[in-house]
Structure 1
Amino acid sequence: MADTLDLFGQSGPEALSDGAVLMRGFAVSETDALITGIESVATQAPFRRLMTPGGKPMSAAMTNCGAAGWVSDRRGYRYEACDPQTGRPWPEMSDGFRDLAVEAARLAGFEDFTPDACLINLYEPGARMSLHQDRDETDLSQPIVSVSLGLEAVFLWGGMARTDPTQKIILRHGDVVVFGGASRLRFHGIAPLKPGRCPGIGARRYNLTFRRAI
């Protein structure tokens, strides 16, 4: 694997690969509104650890908001309009959530992105996300917008095959990654989260990933 990249302090979007950029601190000014929004969503659709199709629990807890929510169980990975835990539609995506994602995508060169789904991951120390592709969405021409809040994490940025070399990129509170185009199906993940505390958020990391799912 390549050495860890520390891009903190560089101005403007930082290219990770063709179609993928990192925007340092882009969401910091929206922290309070984003955390309030996450808490509102979790009140209606609590965080839970989903099961993989192979029957193993994921280490990060998840919930969703928007017209569709990403779910996983022994039936496979998919989007559903209703929360299988409550039987009710997923909470609405707030204007603040949507506006942030649309603006980040625009600055990354994706002018027509309008998300209809937001998957919210909750990582606590030790939680991780194995290398995977985001390929359950209907229109793969639309980008993914990923917002990091809380503890810093090591983002694993791979290639088009699971066995390709993987870059390690430090993601801090407020950082946003946008990837689409030639990078839309790159493998990516999160290394096990290290212990620590983030002011106002505590010993956890939230990751909001905005998609055009349906």
Structure 2
Amino acid sequence: MADEPALTVDVISDVMCPWCYIGKRRLEAAIARLPDVTVQVGWHPYQLDPSLPKEGKDRATYLNEKFGGRANARSIYDHISEVGRETGIPFAFDRIEVSPNTKDCHRLILWARADGLQDEVVDLLFKAYFEDGADLSKSETLVAIAEKAGMQADLVEQLLETDSDLDKIEHQVDRARLMGVTGVPCFVIDGRFVVNGAEAPETLAAAIMHARETRSFVPEDSLS
């Protein structure tokens, strides 16, 4: 219906999570299946590894600590790469040299909301990291992404030099954990239904339709 209010899908994710990239593509495919439903997507922070230093960590060192080395990690990433190919994502894990602390990435995503550019920024962050091997811990990388998305790059550059909104990001990450989120992506549909993991497009589409069909009011609050 033309006058039907948008149905919200709040996505809790981390840009260093390959399943979150897959989840984004699957959500897009799900929404494409529902041309008569207006969906408003919002992105919210989670950190898989908040202990990483601000400058990130050498990828080889990180994989050794997490998986016991690249060889042990390869079987996991080979499976993710296969799923990625099916989803249209050319993962290039071998290009990644730095595992980043993603707090500044989440600040950039937060700032992008004011310009209505969250989706574009999230997409560019995923692509830069997983396809190009870009170092997301570097301010210049984030400024370039902001500019490409259409944000005010000079303002972003200035803000990244400050602590602006760091406390807000930390609060939102804590809030997600208090909600019981232990893994991402996590999709909160219409503020009422939760889908955990990068589920298939048909599963996400069914959840969105169920939320629409059982809707009796516009949610007063979202994760924003």
Judging by fraction of residues, say which structure has more helix: 2
Q: Which has the higher contact order (CA 8 A, sep 6+)?
A: 2
> Hey, which of these two has a bigger chunk of strand by percent?
1
Q: Which structure has the bigger radius of gyration?
A: 2
Give the TM-score taking structure 2 as reference length: 0.28
Relative to the length of structure 1, the TM-score reads 0.28
